[in-house]
Structure 1
């Protein structure tokens, strides 16, 4: 197809559609013309995509059709249906697509934490590196347990801190280095504290205070790390998509992951603020934490698997994000 000739022949129709979309008021005949031209230009766009996919012309016609669609259908008002769909389809799809990255981060984190904890608990030099004996005694006997002060203020502080850690993994994930640094630093800290508690005979207290909220909290941090590394890998290997398109699509899905993690961390913050430091029996606290974690993974694996099977990716829909050229492969 001769693209220049095609453009010359059909430009008057495109210009006319552009003019109609800019008018504040349309009479009956003009409204009918707008609909007819919308259908005609949609056919033109399909023809260009299949016969001569020029990116500039595709973008021009896509933008024109988007404005025309908005004029025909009216401005879209956010509805509860959109909110529900985002919560039960878009978010779980985005989380499901990073599940294997999450598993990898989880295994690496636990390995580092266990190794560091074992070394601190069994090697006197490693224990001494944590701090002087007076600091260790004060931390083990007072500071660690007293940190978990029940209340809304503490829950808000915990949520803010954890959300900031997750946000760093997401925002700087494309570097490939920052998520690794954050995860390793966090693993070393958790392992060192656990090892110090074990060396002083308080490993059971450590696990009792960490487990109720930590099951979900650490999982959310692992997901953030996995999502950050996934966007980095997209930069390295975009697959059949153009690198710019792949990064745009995965970047938007990454924001969806961040929204989902904000919710998960809010739940873990509530557990930490109102359950971990409460007077409830320890077994009940751990059951609450386990149920929160089970609910999260049921949300991801059940709803997410279903959404991905239906073609969802966690990205915006085509007309929201802007149409892109189809890519073979």
Structure 2
């Protein structure tokens, strides 16, 4: 076969493979997001690489021009580096996931995340306002003993804000178990036809708004806000994300679209599992802040609010911009 015919026959294959390599180099593991990508799925790349190697061997045996041989040699070497490079260390993959992949997943599910946010914020605001207008409403959600316990946790005589006993380390363990269990249950309840996440998010919003409204009404608003503003950036955001992931799981069950219901559950369940990894990390950090920072009653309010503003800004910027340089989500 003449060189011109050889090039004409395989030119498109080489171009597609080169474009896939370019997209992969610019956006690791996200070649599909690149507008230059022509539709070659990742699973076809090993076969495309082997064909390039065969074409290189043919070009050498047939004595084609050095320019063509060099072109195929470069293409073969790039393909080898892309397909057979050693995997990243586990710690580096974990950091990459938290900094880039997780916020991309959250943004990709912006619809259910917004629904979860509204389901949380609206009941919170309504219950806060309602308890301010009619303080006795707090007893429809909490028993007298629970109300008294909250009053004691934020009284001026309390040694630590937000609790009446326990060391920082012991409370750190308690917060880990309590917060993470709430987040995971909220997500898993999506299997209850999507009703579970709705109830969980609304209930959490009602309870938090009612407690905040009561403490504000009885003059304990200052210690309460100084306690919650720090860790709330990670904790409340994680709960909302867990609710959104649960809603997505419920939609896969109720409205799978053109997918089989079982395929939709598996696919969306895998995405939800990845979201749960990020939720776990956020709640772990929230528990640390809550145990060792938020409980400091002697810390001036100005310092607490300044740190809280920084933490909220970090969370917002992370979820908004994280991974945008590597994908199109």
How far, CA to CA, are the matches of 2:91 and 2:212 in structure 1?
45
How far, CA to CA, are the matches of 1:88 and 1:195 in structure 2?
35
Deviating more after overlay: 186-195 vs 234-243:
234-243
Deviating more after overlay: 183-192 vs 143-152:
143-152
Q: CA deviation at 1:263?
A: 0.8
How far, CA to CA, are the matches of 2:191 and 2:146 in structure 1?
38
C-alpha distance 90-215 of structure 1, shift in aligned 2 (>3 A): closer
Q: In 2, are the aligned partners of 1:213 and 1:269 still within 8 Å (CA)?
A: yes
Query: Superposition RMSD on alpha carbons, in Å?
Result: 3.3
Q: CA deviation at 1:229?
A: 0.2
- 1:157 is aligned, of 164, 174, 179, to 174
- 1:170 is aligned, of 187, 198, 208, to 187
- Secondary structure of 2:262's counterpart equals helix
After TM superposition, the structure 1 = structure 2 runs for residues 166-245 of structure 1, keeping only pairs within 5 Å, are: 166-175=183-192, 176-245=194-263
Q: Which runs of 5+ in 1 are unaligned?
A: 1-37, 44-71, 312-329
- 1:147 is aligned, of 150, 158, 163, to 163
Q: Do structure 1's residue 123 and structure 2's residue 134 form an aligned pair?
A: yes
- Secondary structure of 2:178's counterpart equals helix
Q: Which runs of 5+ in 2 are unaligned?
A: 1-45, 52-82, 156-160
Q: CA deviation at 1:281?
A: 1.7
TM-score after normalising by structure 2: 0.64
Q: CA deviation at 1:103?
A: 2.5
Q: Which residue of 1 aligns with 2:280?
A: 262
Q: CA deviation at 1:39?
A: 5.1
- 1:92 is aligned, of 103, 113, 123, to 103
Query: Number of aligned pairs?
Result: 246
- Secondary structure of 2:187's counterpart equals helix
Q: Which residue of 2 aligns with 1:11?
A: none
Q: CA deviation at 1:137?
A: 5.3
TM-score after normalising by structure 1: 0.64
1:60-107 deviation line (CA, Å, top 9, x unaligned): xxxxxxxxxxxx979979655544443344323222223332232222
How far, CA to CA, are the matches of 2:231 and 2:180 in structure 1?
14
How far, CA to CA, are the matches of 2:143 and 2:120 in structure 1?
26
How far, CA to CA, are the matches of 1:132 and 1:303 in structure 2?
43
Q: CA deviation at 1:291?
A: 2.3
